[in-house]
Chains A and B, each alone.
Chain A
Amino acid sequence: MLIAFALPAHAGPFEDGVAKFANDDFSDTEEAIGVVASSGNKLAFPIISALQDGRLMADPDSKKVYVTGTDGKSIDAATGEAVASVPDSASAVRLNNRLRRSVDAAIGSLTLQSPDVGTRLQAAQSVFKSHEETALEAVDAALAKESNRSVKAALGEARAAILLFKSDATEVEKLDAVATLKGRGDQEALALLTGMGDQPASVTKAATSAIGSIQSSLAVWSMVQNAWYGLSLGSVLLLAAIGLAITFGVMGVINMAHGEMVMIGAYTTFVVQEVIRTRYPALFDYSLLIAVPLAFVVAGAIGVLIERSIIRFLYGRPLETLLATWGLSLVLQQAVRTMFGPTNREVGNPSWMSGAFELGQITITYNRLWILCFTLAVFAILLAMLRYTALGLEMRAVTQNRRMAASMGIATSRVDALTFGLGSGIAGIAGVALSQIDNVSPNLGQSYIIDSFMVVVFGGVGNLWGTLVGAFTLGIANKFLEPVAGAVLGKIAILVLIILFIQKRPRGLFALKGRAVEA
């Protein structure tokens, strides 16, 4: 290291290496990364990390390379001297996937002894991934100084990964390495063990048994994972169907425009995010919280309007209702297409809905987790509303026996409008959540309408709990069928099962009993 510092500023291997960044050639860039990373020069880390973030600027004419700092100040990459400005002809050094891997490996070995625990952990993990022999020395040095337990474990695993592939490692070292990887027990460890190539017989034997044990533990986890995926799919189905459970299930209106209410909710989210992006960018993480009530109001208001202007003339005429709402769905789609254009609109994920965390050996993504929680919350609120509020009581009264409710002084037509508005509003809320996982395009609603009807009919018309159980049953059944039968056949199998089920129990899982059914 000291030698590098002692070098004069003119052409040494480091300066030559840096100059190669300016050639705009992927092989030259790769060479340059190798030279710079192993140079020991204190500029190595700033250069490589700038390269990773696209802040390393190269001027193809003068062959000079600059590092633009996150603070906007720039330095000459070869000398470290500050420069006033980077010439306009300079552009960011380009990367491809192969180079990104080299950059990660280089950053990994350069930051193994960083003062920050998180950076060290990340470094150890990227060394584990690249497991290049050249990093062994750095890992050993870091391991000797490391005090944090999880970083130490990660370093141990990185060391094991390197040794496993090192041709001149001793048998004992390799057996140790296999044991360490077996302890890690995840897919990446499995990948290393299965791909390790020719080894001494004892190592191969140990590896085979390690692979067996990892695979059997992963098989158990994959069941857990399927169950989680099923819950997650179920929550999406429930969310899409819950509004329909009100308009179709409780009121008996076959509402083919239900999906379009979902779409309107999604577009409301888009509009909210657009306003936030241009006016109040700091509020972006709250955009969904703002969008939920707005989507409810917008979709609900459109629902009331539809009920007042079309559906109320069609009560008791299911076929006409079906056709009218269907036409309406086309009108709404085309209206949105005209207003917002036919292409997808970008709805961003707030930071708290991006990414994933590991639970044992399964990955749980935050957006799915939040959608599950959100769905259950919406369901609970809706249930409470129907049970404990005056409006809820009126709704149930009107749907159970309209004439008697009317004679008791309930304004039935007002209740009809509000019920339909409620169902539409909830569909709008569903749109906010679905905008996080699906396309926001005029066709959004179409893909959910059939699934929604399926859930409501399967669960039992007129019963919210039936919808809940129906959605989760279908979700979980789908996710357990999918790995076996494939996505296409799985979906067909589910449809066939539902048809058979409806033959047997035409009123669904939880059939309503009593006089209301005959009415």
Chain B
Amino acid sequence: MLSKSIHDIAASFSRRGVLAATAGLILGLAPLTGAKAADDTIKVGVLHSLSGTMAISETTLKDTILFLIDEQNKKGGVLGKKLEAVVVDPASNWPLFAEKARELITKDKVAVVFGCWTSVSRKSVLPVFKELNNILFYPVQYEGEESERNVFYTGAAPNQQAIPAVDYLMKEEKVKRWVLAGTDYVYPRTTNKILEAYLKSKGVAQEDIMINYTPFGHSDWQTIVADIKKFGSAGKKTAVVSTINGDANVPFYKELGNQGIKAKDIPVVAFSVGEEELAGIDTKPLVGHLAAWNYFESIKNPANEKFIKDWQAYTKNPKRVTNDPMEAHVIGFNMWVKAVEKVKSTDPDKVIDALPGIEAPNLTGGVSKMLPNHHITKPVFIGEIKGNGQFDVVWKTPSLVPGDAWSKELEGSKDLIGDWVGKKCGNFNTKTNKCLGSGS
């Protein structure tokens, strides 16, 4: 998902630079909370776009962190101090993400930052976090192939979402022919590369895999849906694995529904469609299409029910939905609180060393653990879209799946591991026993 909006990049031929500057001026990017630099608070940075194309997804995550901080303060804060949120708006503009991150760390002196959605925004802030040695919690599923000392990845790596979804289709739906459809940017391209390698290792022939990329914000899906229909009429059960980015999904699903492609004929399993995205669609024609996530709002569990109730009370909106990246923030936030309490300090170096091994309950009944590669263990669920815009869980992994920083399916990365505990290295080659170091 990483990026609803490299849309912006696409639009940026002419616009982006000025857009950012103008947006900055117009919208006033000053921190929303007052700068009472009191020593009795711990500052927590929130780096999510509140304007621009990404606001559609990121605004909710900002609210989530504010909600979590509010809850934590009710419990007495952390180390006897209250938490204080410092919210900035990087306005869906990648270079601005880096600027705002720098501002948070140097000017506001935050102890930790929760933020970013797109991979490109994460890549943009990476050097800042390395240079100023601070902590970033990144809550969105992404393409993997990364493990950095200063970043903790609470979203899913490909082996925690894409691979189990494909396994499900192979086993339960007996799918033999695959359409890998995605938006044209780094997350779908890397994920599809991993999936293609995985499918071939399972004996799927090249002619049974169709890969299709579309530009950002693609709205005319007629040709592609017709192609999928044609590809699906080769006498073998066909499914679509969709890494289509959030915004383009509505017209895609509308076209599927209108052309009469039902889930029982050609199911679509999506990695970027959650409760929030479905809020904009009439889901009746989509019943049965699938999504793979580590969390669904519909999962019945006391922890989840309490969270939803408190969240809706906090936002004063009884219809406000919850989604997977929100849960990732919940887990990440609780892990950070535990690590801080363990070392009795908010010093980033101490917290970074303390985090691996920390466990925090997730909202689906399990306990997630931070791994030495800075990814976490998560359960994987396959949900079917229901008529009311929610998901019905039809399958889940028997146990929690540890996140792989480096995919085991790709030639270049299958020997690499991230290990910040023993090896102190994000890309350690187990064959040559060497750390490749930075520059990956």
Closest A residue to B249 by beta carbon equals A439
Interfacial chain B residues near A327, Cβ < 8 Å: 22, 26
Q: Report if A229-B19 is in contact (Cβ < 8 Å); known contacts: A346-B280, A447-B217.
A: no
Closest B residue to A357 by beta carbon equals B260
Q: Report if A363-B254 is in contact (Cβ < 8 Å); known contacts: A330-B22, A441-B56, A487-B218.
A: no
Interfacial chain A residues near B11, Cβ < 8 Å: 446, 450
* Most chain B beta-carbon neighbours within 10 Å: one of A343, A354, A488: A343
Indicate whether B259 reaches chain A with its CB closer than 8 angstroms.
yes
Indicate whether B394 reaches chain A with its CB closer than 8 angstroms.
yes
Is B223 in contact with A226, judged by CB distance below 8 angstroms? yes
Interfacial chain B residues near A442, Cβ < 8 Å: 55-56
Interface size on A, residues (CB 8 A): 66
Q: How far is the CB of B217 from chain A (nearest CB, A)?
A: 4
Indicate whether A368 reaches chain B with its CB closer than 8 angstroms.
yes
Stretch at the interface among B100-108, B228-236, B353-361: B228-236
In A363-385, the 8 Å CB interface with B consists of 363, 365-368
Query: Which of B51, B222, B235, B258 lies in contact with A191, CB distance below 8 A?
Result: B235
Q: Report if A363-B226 is in contact (Cβ < 8 Å); known contacts: A193-B235, A334-B51, A356-B260.
A: yes
Q: Could you say which interface size class chain B belongs to?
A: 35 or more
Query: Which of A195, A365, A440 lies in contact with B258, CB distance below 8 A?
Result: A365
Stretch at the interface among A96-104, A110-118, A132-140, A398-406: A96-104
Stretch at the interface among B129-137, B196-204, B207-215: B207-215
Q: Mark A84-99, 1 if CB is under 8 A from B, else 0.
A: 0000000000111110
Dominant SS among interface residues on chain A: helix
Q: Report if A344-B56 is in contact (Cβ < 8 Å); known contacts: A226-B223, A368-B222.
A: yes
Q: Report if A487-B282 is in contact (Cβ < 8 Å); known contacts: A97-B264, A195-B235, A229-B222.
A: no
Indicate whether A225 reaches chain B with its CB closer than 8 angstroms.
yes
Q: Report if A486-B212 is in contact (Cβ < 8 Å); known contacts: A97-B173, A194-B234.
A: yes
Is A438 in contact with B263, judged by CB distance below 8 angstroms? no
* Most chain B beta-carbon neighbours within 10 Å: one of A356, A367, A440, A447: A447
Q: Mark A477-503, 1 if CB is under 8 A from B, else 0.
A: 001001100111001000000000000
Is A337 in contact with B55, judged by CB distance below 8 angstroms? yes
Indicate whether A67 reaches chain B with its CB closer than 8 angstroms.
no
In A182-206, the 8 Å CB interface with B consists of 187-188, 190-196
Indicate whether B301 reaches chain A with its CB closer than 8 angstroms.
no
Q: Please, how many angstroms separate the alpha-carbon atoms of A87 and B392 in the complex?
A: 22
Q: Please, how many angstroms separate the alpha-carbon atoms of A349 and B250 in the complex?
A: 13
Q: Please, how many angstroms separate the alpha-carbon atoms of A367 and B220 in the complex?
A: 12
Is A191 in contact with B233, judged by CB distance below 8 angstroms? yes
Is B259 in contact with A356, judged by CB distance below 8 angstroms? yes
Q: How far is the CB of B274 from chain A (nearest CB, A)?
A: 11
Is B255 in contact with A487, judged by CB distance below 8 angstroms? no
Interfacial chain A residues near B313, Cβ < 8 Å: none
Q: Mark A409-426, 1 if CB is under 8 A from B, else 0.
A: 000000000000000000
Q: Report if A187-B222 is in contact (Cβ < 8 Å); known contacts: A104-B264, A327-B22.
A: no
Is B229 in contact with A342, judged by CB distance below 8 angstroms? no
Indicate whether B251 reaches chain A with its CB closer than 8 angstroms.
yes
Indicate whether A45 reaches chain B with its CB closer than 8 angstroms.
no
Q: How far is the CB of B339 from chain A (nearest CB, A)?
A: 32
Q: Mark B163-192, 1 if CB is under 8 A from A, else 0.
A: 000000000110000000000100000000
Chain A interface (Cβ within 8 Å of chain B)? 26, 54, 94-98, 100-101, 104, 129, 187-188, 190-196, 222, 225-226, 229, 232-233, 236, 326-327, 330-331, 334, 337, 341-346, 348-349, 354-356, 363, 365-368, 437-443, 446-447, 450, 479, 482-483, 486-488, 491
Question: 10 tightest A-B contacts by CB?
Answer: A195-B235, A344-B280, A187-B233, A191-B233, A342-B55, A365-B258, A194-B235, A487-B214, A447-B217, A100-B264
Question: Can you name 6 A-B pairs with beta carbons within 8 Å?
Answer: A194-B233, A194-B234, A194-B235, A343-B279, A437-B219, A437-B255
